[in-house]
Chains A and B, each alone.
Chain A
Amino acid sequence: MSGAITILQPGIYTTVQDEGRRGYAHLGVPESGAIDKRAMRLGNQLMNNPEGSAVLEITLVGPTIRFESGTHFVLTGSQVTAFLDEVAIDVGETAFAKANQILSIKKIHPGIRTYLCIAGGLQTEKVLNSRSYYAPLTQATVVKNQQITLGKSNYGTSKFTKVRSQKAVTGLKIGVATIPVFRGPEYEALTTAQREELLNTIFSISKNWNRMAIQILEPLDNKLKAIRTSPVLPGTVQLTPSGTQIILCNDCQTTGGYPRILQVSKKGMQLLSQMGAGKSLKWELV
C-alpha cells in the first residue's frame, strides 16, 4: 500500500512543484518548477528520493497536513515555524510522522518559500511530463481535503541521507542583495543615463511578486518603445513603457513584447527565490 497525505488547510499559496516542464516552450507552455531549486533538490537528496521528485512549495504561510501513513519528511528553503502535533520541527531536520499525525506549517520568515519534501515524492498527475502546478494546465494550488498519494520510500537506503541539515536552510542576505546579471538583448538601446541609473540604484521588490514575475517598485525614466514579440526566459528583466522593471520567473510566458534590458544569472535567480516585498537589490553586471 502506498502512503498519502491529506491537506486540511491549504495555506496562502501552496503548489506541487518538480523540475518543471521541458520541451513544450514552442507550444507556449511555461517552464514552471520549484523557484528555490536548490532547496527542492536538497530536500529530495535528504529523503533519498529520485531526482526530480515532486514536493510542496509553500509560500508565506503554510498548510496543515495530515499524514495517512507513517512517513519520513523534511522541510527545506526558508526558515519557518512548524509543528508535528505539538512538537516544533526545524528546517533541515529529518522527521518521522506516524499515521494520523498533523503537520502545521505556520509563518515563513525571513524568506518567502519553504519546501515540504516527503519520502517517496508526491504522485500527483503528470501533465505534459511534469507534476508542477500551472493553471490552466493543472489546478492552481492545493485545496482543502485534497488527498495526495506518495511514492515508495527509499529513505535510509543510501548514504545521501547524511547531507548536512544546516544546508537545507536557504540563507537571506541582510541589507542589499547584489544580483549578478548579464546585458539583455535590448540593453544597448538604453541611453547612457539610463544605464547608469539602472546599475547604480538600489531597487526594492514591490508587492507584485508571484511565480510569474517580480515587479520592481522604483520606476526608471523610460522612453523605449515596445519591441517585436520575441523569446523570453525566466530571469529576463523587461522594461515596460511606464519604466517598471519586471523580472520574469518560472511561470512566465514564453514570448514577450517589452524590451529585455537584463538577463539575471542562474545564481541571481537563486538569490531572488527567497526575496519578497520590500527587499532591496542592486544589479551587478557579470
Chain B
Amino acid sequence: MTASVPKIRPLGDTGTLLQWEETPSEQLLHYMIAVKKHLSEQLQCEVVHTYTELLLKKPSPTVTASEIKKLLETVEVETTVRRKLFTIPVCYGRGYGEDLEALALMKQLSVKEFIAMHTAPEYLIYFIGFLPGFLYLDGLHERLVTPRKATPRLKVTSGSVAIGGNHTGIYPQESPGGWHIIGRTPIDLFDVRRQEPSPFKAGDKIRFEAISITTFQKIKRQVENGIYNYNVKVF
C-alpha cells in the first residue's frame, strides 16, 4: 500500500511531526511502522507514532522536510513481517471488575453475553502511550462503547481491564483512571527487569480469554515466580 505524502511540520525546536490525512487503518499502521523503522535508522533518532502522526524526537540531525520526503520514497513495507497474536487471560467481574454488572445492565446484556462480546474480537495494537506499557487497542464491539465515568477513580489496580469511550485497555500500573473496570489480568504488561519491558509491538494483536479465579491465582503465581509464558501465536 502506498499512503499519501504526509504533511511535515516542526514541533517547536524539539521535534518534527509527520501527519497523514487518512482515517486510521491497519494498512496505514503497517506503512507508518515501516516509515518509523526507516527514519529511525536513517536519521538515528527516536520516533514515536500514534494513529495518524509520527514524531521524530531531537536530538537528531537537522533534517529538512524535503530530505524527509526523499527518505519516504525509499520506505518499503515488508509483506512478510510475522506479527503476533497474544491471548490475555482475564478474570471478569467477581471483585476484579467492579463495574461489569452495572455496565451489562446498562447495555441490556447478560454478564455472559457481555463477556462473550469482549472476548470475541482480535484487537489491533496501534501504539503504546499514556503510561509505560499501555496499549492503544482497536476493535471494541460497538455495543460495548461507553463514555468514561464522570468522576475518575483515584486508584485503579494494575492489570485492570477497562472500557472508556470506544476503547478497551489494560492498566499496566496502578494509577488514577476514569474507565469502567470489567476484569483483571494476572499477567505483567510492563516489567523493567526484562530485556524487553513490553513484549507487545504495534501491529500485533491481542484477544482476551475469560478465566476463573483459580486460574487467575495459578497464573499470578507463575508470573511472580518468573515462569509464566505468554500465549502467543505468530500470524
Contacts and interface: CB of A to CB of B under 8 A. Distances in A.
Given A25-B57, A128-B192, A182 B17 contact: no
A231 B17 contact: yes
B127 interface: yes
A266 interface: yes
Interface stretch (B7-15, B65-73, B92-100, B213-221): B7-15
Contacts of B57: 25, 233
Nearest to B59: A22
A265 B15 CA distance: 11
Given A26-B127, A137-B132, 19 more contacts: A22-B46, A24-B132, A25-B46, A26-B47, A26-B48, A136-B132, A137-B192, A184-B11, A185-B17, A228-B24, A228-B51, A230-B50, A231-B11, A231-B17, A233-B12, A233-B15, A233-B55, A235-B14, A253-B130
Interface range on chain A (Cβ under 8 Å from partner): 20 to 34
B174 interface: yes
Contacts of A137: 132, 192
A33 to B, nearest CB: 13
B173 interface: yes
Interface of A: 22-29, 127-128, 136-137, 181-182, 184-185, 228-231, 233-236, 253-255, 263-266
B13 A128 contact: no
B197 interface: yes
Given A128-B192, A137-B132, A253-B130, A231 B55 contact: yes
A28 B133 contact: yes
Contacts of A234: 14
Contacts of B49: 26, 231
A29 B12 CA distance: 21
| Max chain A Cβ within 10 angstroms of own Cβ: one of B19, B47, B131 | B131
Nearest to B201: A26
Contact of A229 (B12, B47, B129, B133): B129
Given A27-B128, A27-B133, A27-B198, A231 B12 contact: no
A265 B12 contact: yes
B129 A254 contact: yes
| Max chain B Cβ within 10 angstroms of own Cβ: one of A22, A29, A182, A235 | A29
Nearest to A269: B14
B209 interface: no
| Max chain B Cβ within 10 angstroms of own Cβ: one of A27, A236, A265 | A27
B31 interface: no
A255 B129 contact: yes
